[in-house]
Structure 1
Amino acid sequence: MDIYQHFRKEERPFIDQVLAWRDDVEMKYQRKVSDFLNPREQLIVKTIMGNDPDLVYGFDGGREDTERKRAIIAPEYEVIEQGDFGLTLLEASYPQKFITLEHRDVLGAFMSLGIKREKLGDLVVQDGTIHIIAAAEISDFIKMNLTGVKKANVEFVDKPIDQLLQSNEAWQTKENTVSSLRLDVLTKEIYGMSRKKAGMHIDAGHVKVNHRVVDDAAFQLEEGDLISLKGKGRSRLKEVRGQTKKEKYRVTTAKLI
């Protein structure tokens, strides 16, 4: 089976990486722990691994409902446990009464240190507290070097994973029937605007798919894709449930409200 036919051309490098992980585990009998993967990447791993009788795999991002997760691929005789994923929960406080911090402010502070997004899991910023799930191998670097976000002085400390804050983000799920899986069609449907206006946003570079700007209105979305529209928030194509007799697509979408 040609695995590539099920995915986009630009996803081939990641597919090749996953295939290399799988082959390496099979040959060396040593487990592989990945960096943090977005939902689309997790779906690709699941598709490639399938029901391989010689290997087991799992995901963890600190809690079942986290968006970004690390993967482990291991020989079939191994047992994968939560402690194997190399996750660290880091916490910092800031004076909410005097300083307002948003998700993008904190993430930008991490990026300014040269930390790759792939080494960071879910980030929660609320009620004067910052929680971030990070790869254990960089936690000491973060604690030593990230001492300020905007005008707030911060000090990150380790916390038990089970104390991860429940994000107050709320997702609204909706079942739709759409004419196609084009980016402009789904953007129109999810964000409640005309197709022409959706196309204008796309042309202007206001729309990202899986954290990458996509300026092609005809771009085909697939199950698991994350979408963000500048000024309008994030959404997700959760499920493609097949087609109607008139060849329209039944889809389930979710939008952050």
Structure 2
Amino acid sequence: MEGIYQHFRAEEHSFIDVALEWILQVEDQYTPRLTDFLDPRQRLILESVVGGYDHMKVKFWGGVAHAERRRALIYPDYYEPTDTDFQITLFDIRYPVKFTTLSHQTILGTVMSLGMKRDIFGDILTENELWQFFVMSEMKEYISLQLDKIGKVNIMLEELSLDQALPVRTDWEYVGTTITSLRLDLVVATAHNISRQKAKQLVQGKLVKVNWKTVENPDFECEELDIISARGYGRVKLGEINGHTKKDKIRMEIGYLR
């Protein structure tokens, strides 16, 4: 499996090491291994690593179809997994909607302030004034006891069945463009129609993530299928690179969530 490292960026090698530990644990104990919530890039890496092992499989589930963050179940091929194996709880946030509003950032910031890792939580869902989030079932009792405010807003949590989850936005609309290089600051500037200097400030200010990891280097080289989010500007996905123009600019597509 040494060759797996060459297919991924150097900063992703530590996650490959963790994935290999999970797989060896399943091999040794011959029982399934459930992970925390993983982002799409981590799932891609894990799926690639598991693919190098005979009689080993992996399945992902985030509580609802098309969830961005999902738990992984690594298991021997004799095992037949079900959705209940993933131990996911859905909470609905009840709050005074007539007097205040919530935001994704405020909700995430509050739950993180409880001293828990982001990996414990799945997607945060919203529709109009409704807000829900997924969490590992192992932590639901603790969260129920600890989380009674979002920011300064008093809230109550109500556990719902997973089939009551709000829909997930999944449609990307791609726009063709040309770009002189795939430097992160240039990609952010092009995607959001802002100046190169402004994009560089966002990156250096730790406000830009590539595949859910903060990147502070404006020179960072982006690749096809990278998901790039800039605080205050939203998220984009890099599509196919379609060669070069006569002036040697890169032809590519940038996807925006509808």
TM-score (norm 1): 0.87
| Structure 2 unmatched runs, 5+ | none
- SS of the counterpart of 2:48? helix
CA contact 1:15–1:44 (8 Å) conserved in 2: yes
**What is aligned with 1:35?**
36
**What is aligned with 1:87?**
88
**What is aligned with 1:130?**
131
- SS of the counterpart of 1:2? helix
- SS of the counterpart of 2:44? helix
**What is aligned with 1:233?**
234
CA contact 1:40–1:224 (8 Å) conserved in 2: no
| Cα distance in 2 between the residues matched to 1:174 and 1:168 | 18
CA contact 2:169–2:257 (8 Å) conserved in 1: no
CA contact 1:94–1:129 (8 Å) conserved in 2: no
Taking a change above 3 Å as real, the CA distance of residues 63 and 241 of structure 1, as seen in their structure-2 partners, is farther
- SS of the counterpart of 1:156? strand
Query: Relative to structure 2, which stretch is displaced further, 120-129 or 31-40?
Result: 120-129
**What is aligned with 2:50?**
49
CA contact 1:39–1:225 (8 Å) conserved in 2: no
| Cα distance in 2 between the residues matched to 1:57 and 1:134 | 20
**What is aligned with 2:117?**
116
- SS of the counterpart of 2:6? helix
1:9-53: CA deviation from partner (whole Å, max 9, x where unpaired) = 111111100111112212221111111111111111122122643
| Cα distance in 2 between the residues matched to 1:136 and 1:196 | 44
| Structure 1 unmatched runs, 5+ | none
- SS of the counterpart of 2:79? coil
**What is aligned with 1:10?**
11
CA contact 2:19–2:46 (8 Å) conserved in 1: yes
| Cα distance in 2 between the residues matched to 1:242 and 1:112 | 43
**Structure-to-structure mapping, 1:1-257, within 5 angstroms:** 2-50=3-51, 52-167=53-168, 171-176=172-177, 178-237=179-238, 239-240=239-240, 243=243, 251-256=252-257
CA contact 2:236–2:255 (8 Å) conserved in 1: yes
The root-mean-square deviation of aligned C-alpha atoms, in Å, is: 2.6
